[in-house]
Amino acid sequence: MPNVVIVGTQWGDEGKGKIVDFLTQHADIIVRFQGGPNAGHTVVVGEKQTILHQIPSGILQPGKKCVIGNGVVIDIETLMKEIEEVRSQGYFKDDTALLISENAHLIMPYHKKIDISREKMKGKDKLGTTGRGIGPAYEDKVGRSGIRVIDIFDDDLFRNKLEDNLKEKNFYLQNYLNEEAFNTEEIFQQFSKYRDKIKNYICNTFLFLHESLNENKRILFEGAQGTMLDVDHGTYPFVTSSNTISAQASIGSGIGPKHLDAIVGISKAYTTRVGAGPFPTEQDNDTGNYLRDKGAEYGATTGRPRRCGWFDLVTVRHSIQINSITHLALTKLDVLSRLKTIKVCTGYKYMDEVLSGFPTDFSVLEKCTPVYDEVEGWDEDISSITRLKDMPEAAKNYIEYIENATGIPVIMVSVGSRRNQIITIKDPFET
């Protein structure tokens, strides 16, 4: 049975949560494989909006198994609040629906304090992190001093790791960041209470997933953030702290790449970005304000207004190559309605040269100006359209333009925020 990976092709906020929620009806298992509570997936069912930060979006569909993989860094405190909130909305009635990898690393209180304090010290040069402690948690993971979920169930091991970490963290907090130190016993007791509340969800998710493959279960891998925020392949240093690309679906879950059958790249019909960093097609003008207001472009995690601009073929082609994308899903096409003309960035001009690829040199990227092509817009409201053939001709032409320019078929088009406002051209599970 085919397995599908969902990734963002831009700087995140492409609408991955909605697409995952929609495709969950065809899947048995949904796996979150990277990132932490710095990601926010917004799903609208009826009139009810649900924002998920760590739990896979599939939790909103009954009868599914949702896995938080080893590649995720987990904030237990906010995870428990998220579980309570989802349940209060009438979802997640089956306790066995959520499985958490015992090898996932934990975001500790000192990680969040370090994250916030560093940004404060940088002032105008800050990176624009969410302050959720994700970066410092991944630092400890790579530095082999991280605390995993399984570690807090062994009192001696947990206490020893905590004591060793706090010797270094407290010195750094007090002597460099001018912050108060943490108390070992207080954190130990705090997490001892947490573990009792999450112990039923903890398991060896690697074994579960491989057993599921042997049973021909359909697995949907849910990425967070977007390709251009990938720590290796994005607009470094204005990136997140994990790998956001499709290859991480294997690493962050323990499933080999031969089991990844379809890679669906999610693209907005325009482009947005949250936080600092280069954004060649940004429209800091009436057009950008129009896109932001009509598209309700505010961060699901922080509420920060998103920077808005035209569709950028350079970044999307870059994402297609890095992720081996097989299909595209185009979201928020309805936001472009009422625009007489729509611009598409076809290349970057640097000095007297038009670059064909995405520049990795930050000093080059920040000096690039977009080269635009213009296509005809449409006046009609498309939010109630359910079939591609009923779209205005100009809207169909825009979709076809993107297909021709990328060489990748568009298989889904979202025309609104609700679950049913989506046009399916092809089911990626049927590839």
226-235 burial: b if 16+ Cβ within 10 Å, else e? bbbbbbebbb
Distance, CA of 170 to CA of 181 (rounded, Å): 5
* 3-class secondary structure, 123: helix
CA dist 23 and 295 (Å) reads 22
Question: d(Cα 34, Cα 253) in Å, to the nearest integer?
Answer: 9
Q: Is 285 helix (H, G, I), strand (E, B) or coil?
A: coil
Residue 144 CB burial class (10 angstroms; 0-12, 13-18, ≥19): exposed
Q: How far is CA 312 from the centre of its chain?
A: 19
Active-site residue set: 13, 41
Cβ-based neighbour number of residue 146 at 10 Å: 22
Q: Are 416 and 294 in contact (CB under 8 A)?
A: no
